[in-house]
Amino acid sequence: MIVKKMQALGEKRSVIREIFEYGNARRKEIGAENVFDFSLGNPSVPAPDAVGEALIKMLQESDSVSLHGYTSAPGDLGVRASIAEYLNKTYNVGAKPSDLYMTVGAAASLSACLSAVAGAGEEVVVFAPFFPEYRVFTEQTGASLRIVPADETNFEINFDALADALSEKTAAVIINSPNNPSGAVISEASIIRLAEILSAAEEKYGHVIYLIADEPYRELVYDDIAVPYVTKYYDDTLVCYSFSKSLSLPGERIGYVLVSPTAKEHDAVYAAICGAGRALGYVCAPSLFQKLLPHCLGMVSDLATYKLNRDLLYEGLSSSGFTLKKPDGAFYLFMKSPEADANAFCERAKKYELLLVPGDDFACPGYVRIAYCVTTEQIRRSLPAFAALAKEYSL
């Protein structure tokens, strides 16, 4: 029998996808250059040249059977050793290959971690605004989401509301820094405070509470902003990393989970992540792209373009009268809608061929997300349209 819950998930397209499909139709009608599509978080900057060069070399020089063969279920040991060495050199993590589980991107990392540590009747705490798929990944485990409302002053952590959200049911807390959709980076002081609160909650409720650090945008930061490495502050941390954004490889589906070497139930939780990967059918992440990683660790696609886009857009929108905070990282800008209903605002923006995403899906109504991983030319050409839209609201 068809599982209705899954059918419903498959039939309901995400709002972002709906807008993107609308953009495709408009591109056909009026030409791609006349549509200002800011809907998708698909990197617009190519992967570093070294990625293509390494792939060609591997294909030319390696034995194809071993290159394309299955790796061990949690990932190739040599690849995991290289990643551990890189993390230790860069963040002083103390990681070993046996702390790492290779996955098909951050989505699979999150799904495996949540399946490993959360179950029926338990809760996973998330901070608005958050990536909408957290709900899907959490609910497939039988657990439910507990949403902490946004701190609209800086989109960091709303500590006042966090106290109410934690309970004996809390299995895990997810943070995402740099953040999709706000672009906010959680400061070291906030991570320290969060770690203290979670440690006290572990003590009070007598069980481990996992801090899941969703980090596909770790390297996408501007103006020398530091992104603290969370395992240093909280022992029971699971890092969900992906190369989708840092290396502009979203379609290749490659990432990993790092179980903090200091996690109290380290071996059991690592085994549970391997088990969840097995149950979900995620074992043995793509072999070619696993083996590419040792050649590319620490490389990042050209950040200068994203920074230029951010600066142009921020200046343009601010001078048109919109209310927004300059994002520190990722490639999203989260702007206050000039009318309370962000859906109505996004509909009105379509008149100017501006495709924006309402914040409602990110659990933050009254805001819109603008993905600036587009060409700089698109940003420049869209600014008069934003100015005309602002005029409609007398900003």
Q: Which residues bind ligand PLP (CB under 6 A)?
A: 41, 105-107, 131, 176, 180, 214, 216, 242, 244, 250, 255
Q: Among residues 150 and 201, whose Cβ is nearest to ligand PLP?
A: 150
List the structure tokens of 120: 């029926």
Q: What is the closest distance, in whole angstroms, from the C-beta atom of residue 116 to ligand PLP in the complex?
A: 17
Q: 179 vs 320, which CB is nearer to ligand PLP?
A: 179
Residue 208 CB, shortest distance to ligand PLP, in Å, is: 23
Question: At a CB cut-off of 8 Å and minimum separation 6, what does 231 contact?
Answer: 91, 93, 237, 239, 258, 260, 261, 262
Question: Cα dihedral sign for 289, 290, 292, 296?
Answer: positive
What residues does 241 pair with on adjacent strands? 256
Q: How far apart are CA 34 and CA 295, in angstroms?
A: 39
- In the complex, least distance from residue 359 CB atom to ligand PLP, rounded to whole angstroms: 14
Which residue lies nearer to ligand PLP by CB, 180 or 320?
180
Residue number with CB closer to ligand PLP (190 or 320): 190
Number of helices (H), then strands (E), belonging to the chain: the values are: 14, 12
Q: How far is the CB of 249 from ligand PLP (least distance, A)?
A: 9
Tell me whether residue 105 or residue 327 sits nearer to ligand PLP (CB atom): 105
CA-to-CA dists, residue 89 to 80, 219, 231, 297, 299, angstroms: 14, 16, 14, 11, 14
Q: Kindly tell me which of 285 and 335 has the beta carbon lying closer to ligand PLP.
A: 285
Minimum CB distance to ligand PLP, residue 214 (Å)? 5
Q: Which is nearer to ligand PLP, 105 or 358 (CB)?
A: 105
- Give every strand in the sheet of 357-358, ordered side by side: 332-336, 367-371, 357-358
The minimum distance between CB 268 and ligand PLP, in angstroms, equals 25
Report CA dihedral (308, 312, 315, 316) to the nearest 10 degrees: -170
CB of 138 to ligand PLP, least distance (A): 13
Question: For the purposes of burial, counting CB atoms within 10 Å of the CB of 49, is it exposed (0-12), middle (13-18) or buried (19 or more)?
Answer: exposed
